[in-house]
Amino acid sequence: MQLLDGKGTAQSIKDELKEKVAQIKAEGGKVPHLAAVLVGNDGASQTYVNAKVKACEQIGFGSTLIHLSEETSEAEVLATVQKLNDDPEIDGFIVQVPLPKQIDEQKVVEAILPNKDVDGFHPVNLGKMLLGIPTLLPATPKGMMLLLERNGIETSGKHCVVIGRSNTVGTPISVLMSRNGNPGNATVTLCHSRTKNLAEITKQADILIVAIGKEGFVSADMVKEGATVIDVGIHRVPSDQTKSGFKLKGDVKFDEVAPKCEFITPVPGGVGPMTIASLLWNTYLTSQKLV
C-alpha cells in the first residue's frame, strides 16, 4: 500500500506557481489576485478559506477575504459578487459554500463571471468541460486528476467507479476520467443513492473515487485487492485524543481499506490540499488569459 500524498503533490504545484509569480514580478507584470467571500461563521468553511488565504501568501499571490454576517441577504451577496466581477484587480474569486438558507447558491454561482469562476462551477465552465474545450475546471476534480497524473497512476483502460453524483465532484470527475487524455481513457461507472448491489460494482473498480458525503461509508468488503482509492470525504468526528476535540475522517474506513489498496489518499492530507492547489492554478490561468 502506498499513500497518495496530496499535501506533498500540492506543495510541488505551489512551488511551481511561486516561480511563475517571481517571473511575472521580474517582468513587471500583474501578480495574480484571488478573492474569497465567506458568509456566516461555519467552522469548516472558515478553516478552508483561511487555508486558501495562507496559500496565496506562500506563493506571492494577492488575496482578499470578504467576510459577511450570517444574516446577509441574497441581494447583498449578489452585489458583492458584482463588485468583484467589475474589479480589474481581482483575477478570480470564490463564494464559499454552504451558504445560509436565505441565499440561493445556484443564483450566486451563475452571477459570477465565467472567467473569474476559479471554483469551476459556472454552467458555462461545466459546459465547456463536457465538450472538452479548455476552461476553468472544477477545483476538486481537477485536483484529483493532477494527483493521479503527478503520481504516475495509470488510468487508461481501467475501470473507474465513482460513488456520488454531485455537480461539484462526482459528475465532473466521471466526465474527466472518461475523456480522451492522460489521466483519462477510463471506463467509468457512476453510482449513487439509488444504485442497486453497490458493493458488487465497487469491487470491480481498479480506481474507486468516493464522494458520497457519509463518514466511513466504504468498508474493506467493497474494495478489490490492488485498487486505487481516492477519498473525497472530510468529516469532523469527536475525539478525546486531540486538542481540538475532533478528528478528520473520510468517506472510507481507512484502517481496514488501506491494506487492500495499491494506492490510497489519506484524510486529511489527500484531496483537500489538491483542491486548494487547483484553485491557485485556475487563478494563475485566468490571470494570464490562458483559458
Which residue positions form the known binding site? 164-166, 234
List the one residue out of 290, 223, 289 whose CA is nearest residue 255.
Answer: 223
- Rounded-to-integer distance, Cα 163 and Cα 165, Å: 7
Long-range contacts of 110-116 (CB under 8 A, 24+ apart): 111/78, 111/81, 111/82, 111/85, 112/81, 112/84, 112/85, 113/85, 115/286, 115/291, 116/84, 116/85, 116/90, 116/91, 116/92, 116/286
Binding residues for NADP(+): 164-166, 234
Does the annotation mark 96 as catalytic?
yes
Give me the catalytic one of 5, 91, 96, 253. 96
Give me the catalytic one of 5, 14, 52, 251. 52
Chain Cα centroid distance, residue 187: 22
Q: Angle CA(123)–CA(124)–CA(130) in degrees, nearest 5? A: 85
Give me the catalytic one of 119, 206, 231, 251. 119
Backbone angles phi, psi at 21, to 5 degrees: -65, -40
Take residue 216 and report the three cell numbers written for it.
466511513
Does the annotation mark 119 as catalytic?
yes
**Residue 86, SS3?**
helix
Task: Quote the radius of gyration of the chain (alpha carbons, Å).
Answer: 19
Take residue 251 and report the three cell numbers written for it.
468517506
Question: Which residues does the annotation mark as catalytic?
Answer: 52, 96, 119
